Amino acid sequence: MSGIYYCYQCKLITNSIDDLLFVEEKSKKSFCCEKCIQDFYQHLIGHFENLEFIKRKELNLENENLDDNLDNPELVEEFFKNPDQSLKYTNEIGEEITTIIKKIDSNNETINMLVNCFTYSGEISLILHSLCTKSNELISLFSFQSKKFNENEAGHFPEENLNEVEVDQKMIDEIELKKSTYLAELMEERKETDIPIESFHLYENFFSPTLYEPDEIYSYIDQSGDEILSYIRAHEQEGKSFYYLILCLKGDEKNKVEQLIYPIVSFPTVDGKLAHNYRKGEMISGSLKN
């Protein structure tokens, strides 16, 4: 096989695809060696660590120290062999992250073990982040990713998780209803001079940065009594500043590990006033800029 391929990190060019390593299931990013893989994804690894650090601080769990369990080969083997949940999150440009969760016994206590990783050809190709905690709330921070189940893989889930896929269907109907309500509201509030709806797809690559690293997050209860999270971030493209907003519905499965967050509407806007409409309720992250 001959052609031109290159390493996404060091840019080394090679003629053979066999010389390259692939990490992400739905992505063509290729690498020449393990070190380049580590270097390329370091920002994402750091991002997950940072998310955990901030949430632990908020929950007063900085000194939980349960991560020793991750060095126990028997526990780790059992974790990957029989996970309670294996959840896939696909973003709007098709990139996929898998979150694996299992309740394990540690010194006669039940705790959660969680791994965020990439898979390639159905195998785990890179572990981005792992943790052990007693806190379901800390787990739920990462299981927002489970909002999308890959349908053709549902059959691989352990029996009890099939029910969760059904519950998800109910939730999906609810989300659809929510989407139309919020879209209608947005259409009413939008100015004609704002970014045209036909161009929204050109802004899709701002979805992930906004969700993962928003400037601000607000939480409020809407007219139907549902908790809505509003993620806001200012961006710039070709010298033009704009906001990207994501409104998410927070699942109400309070006592379950998988308290989910479902994106309902996401859109760019150059209208500061429109963006400000979604700064309401309680600010749960960020500082007011300007």
Q: Which is nearer to Zn ion, 12 or 283 (CB)?
A: 12
Query: From CA 215, how far away is CA 209, in angstroms rounded?
Result: 10
Q: Which is nearer to Zn ion, 18 or 236 (CB)?
A: 18
Sign of CA dihedral 130, 136, 140, 143: positive
The one-letter code for the residue type at 37 is: I
Q: Least distance from C-beta 3 to Zn ion, angstroms?
A: 17
Helices (H), 29-158: 34-58, 73-81, 136-143
Region 3-32 residues binding Zn ion, contact defined as CB under 5 A: 7, 9-10, 12, 32
Query: From CA 244, how far away is CA 211, in angstroms rounded?
Result: 10
CA atoms within 13 A on the CB side of 110: 5
Q: Which is nearer to Zn ion, 32 or 113 (CB)?
A: 32
Q: Least distance from C-beta 120 to Zn ion, angstroms?
A: 17
The one-letter code for the residue type at 48 is: F
Q: Which is nearer to Zn ion, 23 or 36 (CB)?
A: 36
Q: How many residues does the chain have?
A: 290
Q: Using DSSP, state whether 135 is helix, strand or coil.
A: coil
Q: Least distance from C-beta 11 to Zn ion, angstroms?
A: 7
Binds Zn ion (CB under 5 A): choice among 20, 23, 36, 232: 36
CA atoms within 13 A on the CB side of 125: 22
Q: Least distance from C-beta 28 to Zn ion, angstroms?
A: 15
Q: Least distance from C-beta 208 to Zn ion, angstroms?
A: 24
Q: Which is nearer to Zn ion, 15 or 180 (CB)?
A: 15
Which window, 33-41, 182-190, 196-204, 238-246, contacts Zn ion (CB under 5 A)? 33-41
User: Contact positions toward Zn ion, by CB under 5 A?
Assistant: 7, 9-10, 12, 32, 36
